[in-house]
Each structure stands twice: as C-alpha cells, then as structure tokens.
Amino acid sequence: QFKQEMSVQIAEAEKKLVELKKEAQTQGSATKEKLAKEIEVLKESLKKQTAEMEKEGESSWTRMKSRVAQTADQLNQKLQKALKE
C-alpha cells in the first residue's frame, strides 16, 4: 500500500513538473528552470528508492519507508514553492 501511495505521489509530481517546465519556458525564468531540474533529480531519487523497497527485507523496510517518505515530502515542498513563484 505504501508503494502504491508513493507511485501516486510520483505521478502527481510528474504532472506538476510538466506544468513548471511550461511556465519556465513561457516566462523565460532561469530560476524556475533550475528548480525544475532539482525537482527532476528528487523525483528520480524517489522512483529509485521506491523500487529498492521491493528488494529490502522486512527489517530494512521501516527504515526505507521513512527515507522514501522524507524524499517525497522534499519533492512536494519544492514543487509547491516553485509553482507559487
């Protein structure tokens, strides 16, 4: 279930990232372009961490879950900030 929630968050982040990239191109904003690149890196990191969760044993899963959730939070915060600017 957690992995499914992360997949939904990644999909939402991808949609917002597309929106951000369009805004950056339309406005010619170097700041938004830079943020879009940072967000892309975070999104890919989240995808990788989510995929690694399948390989981890139960004891490592709780630790991984916390790390993945933290990355998801960072991703969402950056997206919200970037879209408000």
Q: What is the pLDDT of residues 31-64, one digit of tens each?
A: 778 888 888 888 888 888 888 777 766 667 777 7
Q: What is the pTM (predicted TM-score) of this model?
A: 0.65
**pLDDT for residue 76:** 83
Eight-state DSSP code of residue 85 = -
**pLDDT for residue 57:** 65
CA distance 18 to 2: 25
- Cβ distance 78 to 38 under 8 Å? yes
**pLDDT for residue 58:** 65
Check residues 29 and 14 and name the one with the higher pLDDT: 14
**pLDDT for residue 67:** 83
Average pLDDT, the chain: 81
